[in-house]
C-alpha cells in the first residue's frame, strides 16, 4: 500500500530547472505510480511566489485538512514531476476534495499541441 495518497501535501526535494540541485518544498500528490516493490509519486509544485501563470491557483490553509502551511501559497498544476517515495520527507496535510477537483480540472484544461499557435 502506498504511504501517500492522491491529495496529500508532502514535503519533498524539487529539482531546479536548468540547474543541478534541489530545493525542499511542499508539493501536491496528483497520482501514485507503482514502481517495482515501492511507489513513485506524480507531484504538482506548491510555491510562495506569485507567478504570471494563467493556471496558478491560490492555496489557503482553509484548503488543507490536518495541517497547514506557514504562508500564502500557490499551486502550479502546469508544473508536475515524479519522485520516488523514499525522497519524500513527510506529509503536511491533505487538500480538501473540492480544491483537489479544481486542480484536476485545471490540469485537464492545460493546452495541448493543437491549442498552441
Any idea where the domains of the chain sit in the sequence? 8-111
**How many Å apart are CA 109 and CA 92, to the nearest integer?**
27
Q: Say if residue 117's pLDDT is above 70.
A: no
Mean pLDDT, residues 59-78: 93
CB-CB contact of 41 with 32 (8 Å): yes
pLDDT of residue 115: 59
Beta bridge partners of 81: 43
pLDDT grade, residue 73 (50/70/90)? very high
Per-residue burial over 15-34, b = 16 or more CB atoms within 10 Å of its CB, e = otherwise: eeeeeeeeeebbbbbbebee
Q: Say if residue 61's pLDDT is above 90.
A: yes
Q: In the structure grid, which three cell numbers stand for residue 57, read together?
A: 491557483
Beta bridge partners of 10: 27, 91
Mean pLDDT, residues 96-114: 88
pLDDT grade, residue 42 (50/70/90)? very high
Mean pLDDT, residues 28-48: 90
CATH number for the domain whose boundaries are 8-111: 2.30.30.110
pLDDT grade, residue 36 (50/70/90)? confident
Amino acid at each position: 500500500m502506498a504511504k501517500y495518497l492522491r491529495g496529500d501535501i508532502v514535503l519533498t526535494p524539487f529539482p531546479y530547472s536548468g540547474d543541478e540541485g534541489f530545493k525542499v518544498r511542499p508539493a501536491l500528490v496528483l497520482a501514485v505510480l507503482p514502481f517495482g516493490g515501492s511507489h513513485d509519486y506524480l507531484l504538482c509544485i506548491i510555491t510562495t511566489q506569485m507567478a504570471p501563470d494563467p493556471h496558478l491557483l491560490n492555496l489557503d490553509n482553509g484548503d488543507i485538512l490536518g495541517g497547514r502551511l506557514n504562508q500564502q501559497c500557490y499551486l502550479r498544476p502546469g508544473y508536475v514531476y515524479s519522485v520516488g517515495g523514499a525522497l519524500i520527507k513527510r506529509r503536511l496535510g491533505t487538500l480538501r476534495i473540492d480544491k483537489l477537483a479544481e486542480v484536476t480540472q485545471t490540469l485537464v484544461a492545460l493546452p495541448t499541441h493543437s491549442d498552441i499557435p
